[in-house]
Chains A and B, each alone.
Chain A
Amino acid sequence: MQRLSAESVTLGYDQRVIAKDLSVEIPDRSFTVIVGPNACGKSTLLRALSRMLKPSEGRVLLDGQAIHSLPAKKVARTLGLLPQSSIAPDGITVGDLVARGRYPHQGLLRQWSPEDERIVQESMEATGVGGLGERYVDELSGGQRQRVWIAMALAQQTPLLLLDEPTTFLDIQHQIEVLDLCAQLHEEQGRTLVAVLHDLNQAARYASHLVAMRDGEVVAEGAPASVVTAELVERVFGVRCQVIPDPETGTPLVVPAAPRRSLVG
């Protein structure tokens, strides 16, 4: 039994059903990446796993209990989420923003402590923003800002961390920086990471477990080497391609086929 799973959930917004009878298990201590074409329901699944969205049927289980019936702060001490978009309050410093990640560990009788201070500092150092504590968040570059948000999620100190498209809006250098950071958090700290990514090659390179979705269904899951095949890419994305070993890492590398001239001409 894994810590986080979805049990035949039906997901949707208002009347529109996006996924029906969907079941997924997130392997403990994995770096799970969910991939699929636009509107396949991958972000919707992540939102359900992070209890942002309540399934209309079925349930999401965290440590064997329905996540929506658990107290919000208790969940927030086990499972963190980096949403697609967050708002940095005007004029907030990096240190103050990261410190807000301690919210679920605090209460009326449990105020700020030196331990909180230490965890905040460690989280900032783990994401490489340790020296920016006094800087204003709105002065930072996009890549730095994303690392600050990740630091805030780390300060939450959750064994599970979910990231919704953490590389969107970043250039290639910052994309790789963020993904390297995720890999490092996974390997060195033993956290379970779940991310939604757009780039199949990045997914194949960084994931230890890959979930491929299409039309609200899981088409394939497993190690990237077994999931990413030319046949699957065509089935999921509708793209003809070759899959070759990545010259850097040996993980599968998807090379889309050139347009067929016979069809064009």
Chain B
Amino acid sequence: MLVDSPPQPRDGTTSAPPAPTAKRRTLRAAGLFASVGVLALVAVASIAVGAKPMPLGDVWHGLFHSSGTANDVLIHDVRVPRTLLGLLVGAALGLAGAVMQALTRNPLAEPGILGVNAGAAAAVVSAISFLGVNSLTGYVWFAFLGAGLVSAAVYLLGGSRAATPVRLALAGTAASAALYGYINAVQLTDSAALNQLRFWQVGSLAAADMATVAKVAPFILVGVVVALLLARPLNAMAMGDDTARALGARLTRTRVLSMVVITLLCGAATAACGPIVFIGLMVPHLVRAITGPDLRWILPYAAVLSPVLLLGSDVVGRVVTRPAELQVGIVTALIGGPVFICLVRRRRMAQL
């Protein structure tokens, strides 16, 4: 061989400052801290703003020195549950979206793509139409069951142990299409069910009460903890299955746990509020623009910023058509749509 290798520049042997990495870590931590602050502000706004505006003094009084005034009752029975539900559901949707996008390596993954929303909705439709369930607390369990069943079915259809991102996405899309067909068929033949579902299907926090919050909170909290624990194996899997396996990540276990987490988070969120669109799709994208591709940062950021967006949208929805209100699912779609289009146009999207 006649090629003489050119002398290789072994750059970096002279100076290798690790400073920028440490600085970035500090910045990210500070950003997360600031995000928590913003979330606190939005939560206060969510308690203060509504059909009946409330001065901050009354908010403070109602929260910490409640003495049963009309405002105190309003805060306790309506505003606080609504805000808590917004926090829980927002965190759940954002985390579920982030885990889904990591799991399927598909930047467009959202609760819709893996069929979770469709599963929840189909179960609720069946419950209303065939079993006569008509209370919100009744929906919760059916929505949850539907989400779980469809997640499992999608995982099996996607090839179970041999599941690949593309196969999972295809299986989820196919399942969604079939289930929405079923939902439409039931709705068309049962007008009573249609009326009941119309509200739920848009996505709303308005019906929140403490019973609903208590019912979904355990699922969402477990889901949040497990999701955060999955950050490292999902990081490894982002580099391809072989690389992840070579690093000692356990792919099947991580996939199954991710599906469980997604089911817990999406099932609980969808059951409580109906399918709220765009949060699970949009927030992880926004977050990635801030943190880069490290899930150890993406997941906590998504868990904090998603409720900011959800509660913010809910507050906006209460203000714009006062004294009536716009459901949060509509507002997130109205705000989220254009933002998402901007994001997609500005940032190069990874290939499926």
Whether A and B are associated in the same complex: the answer reads yes
Residue ranges of A at the interface with B (Cβ–Cβ < 8 Å): 50-52, 71-77, 80-93, 95-97, 100-101, 103-104, 106, 108, 117, 121, 124-125, 128-134, 153, 156, 172-173, 176-177, 180, 201, 205, 246, 248
In-complex Cβ contact of B21 among A83, A92, A95, A205 (8 A): A95
A158 → B minimal CB distance (Å)? 9
In the complex, the answer to whether A133 meets B16 with C-beta atoms within 8 Å is yes
Across-interface contacts of A84 in B (CB, < 8 A)? 242
In the complex, the answer to whether B240 meets A86 with C-beta atoms within 8 Å is yes
> 18 additional contacts, CB 8 Å, given A76-B247, A83-B240, A173-B6?
A72-B245, A72-B248, A75-B248, A80-B246, A81-B242, A85-B240, A85-B242, A89-B238, A100-B236, A117-B18, A121-B16, A128-B10, A130-B12, A134-B21, A173-B3, A177-B5, A177-B8, A246-B1
How many of chain B's residues have a CB under 8 angstroms from any CB in A? 36
In-complex Cβ contact of B9 among A100, A128, A153, A176 (8 A): A128
A90 to B232 Cα, complex, angstroms? 17
A203 → B minimal CB distance (Å)? 13
Residue-wise, chain B 193-237 has the 8 Å CB interface mask toward A (1 for contact) of: 000000000000000000000000000000000000100100110
A116 → B minimal CB distance (Å)? 11
Q: Give the residue name and chain of the A residue nearest to B244 (CB).
A: A103
* Secondary structure of the B contact surface, majority rule: loop
In the complex, the answer to whether B5 meets A100 with C-beta atoms within 8 Å is no
B350 → A minimal CB distance (Å)? 5
Across-interface contacts of B105 in A (CB, < 8 A)? 87
Across-interface contacts of B1 in A (CB, < 8 A)? 176, 201, 205, 246, 248
A89 → B minimal CB distance (Å)? 4
Q: Which 8 A-B pairs have the closest CB atoms?
A: A130-B12, A76-B248, A131-B12, A83-B242, A131-B11, A73-B248, A81-B246, A89-B293
A129 → B minimal CB distance (Å)? 7
In-complex Cβ contact of A103 among B247, B292, B348 (8 A): B247
In-complex Cβ contact of A176 among B5, B20, B247 (8 A): B5
Of B239, B240, B293, most A-chain CB atoms within 10 Å: B239
B250 within 8 A of A: yes
Q: Give the residue name and chain of the A residue nearest to B1 (CB).
A: A248
In the complex, the answer to whether B20 meets A134 with C-beta atoms within 8 Å is yes
Q: Give the residue name and chain of the B residue nearest to A99 (CB).
A: B21
Q: Give the residue name and chain of the A residue nearest to B15 (CB).
A: A131
| A117-B18, A128-B11 known; A172-B3 Cβ under 8 A | yes
A41 to B349 Cα, complex, angstroms? 36
A121 to B12 Cα, complex, angstroms? 9
Across-interface contacts of A129 in B (CB, < 8 A)? 12
In the complex, the answer to whether B293 meets A91 with C-beta atoms within 8 Å is yes
| A72-B248, A121-B16, A130-B10 known; A93-B232 Cβ under 8 A | no
A265 to B297 Cα, complex, angstroms? 70
Q: Give the residue name and chain of the A residue nearest to B293 (CB).
A: A89
A206 → B minimal CB distance (Å)? 11
Residue-wise, chain B 246-261 has the 8 Å CB interface mask toward A (1 for contact) of: 1111100000000000
A101 to B235 Cα, complex, angstroms? 11
In the complex, the answer to whether A76 meets B293 with C-beta atoms within 8 Å is no
Q: Give the residue name and chain of the B residue nearest to A128 (CB).
A: B10
Across-interface contacts of A95 in B (CB, < 8 A)? 21
User: Which residues of chain B from 93 to 130 have any CB-CB distance to chain A below 8 Å in the complex?
Assistant: 105
A129 to B13 Cα, complex, angstroms? 9
Q: Give the residue name and chain of the A residue nearest to B294 (CB).
A: A96
| A91-B293, A173-B6 known; A125-B13 Cβ under 8 A | yes
A132 to B19 Cα, complex, angstroms? 13
Across-interface contacts of A77 in B (CB, < 8 A)? 248
In the complex, the answer to whether A173 meets B246 with C-beta atoms within 8 Å is no
In the complex, the answer to whether B240 meets A87 with C-beta atoms within 8 Å is yes
In-complex Cβ contact of B16 among A72, A100, A131, A172 (8 A): A131
B254 → A minimal CB distance (Å)? 11
B288 within 8 A of A: yes
B243 within 8 A of A: yes
| A100-B235, A103-B236 known; A132-B245 Cβ under 8 A | no
User: Which residues of chain B from 1 to 44 have any CB-CB distance to chain A below 8 Å in the complex?
Assistant: 1, 3, 5-6, 8-13, 16, 18, 20-21
A130 → B minimal CB distance (Å)? 2
Q: Give the residue name and chain of the B residue nearest to A51 (CB).
A: B245
| A128-B10, A177-B5 known; A104-B240 Cβ under 8 A | no
Across-interface contacts of A156 in B (CB, < 8 A)? 246-247
A205 to B1 Cα, complex, angstroms? 10
A139 to B350 Cα, complex, angstroms? 15
Across-interface contacts of B240 in A (CB, < 8 A)? 83, 85-87
In the complex, the answer to whether B293 meets A92 with C-beta atoms within 8 Å is yes
Across-interface contacts of A71 in B (CB, < 8 A)? 248
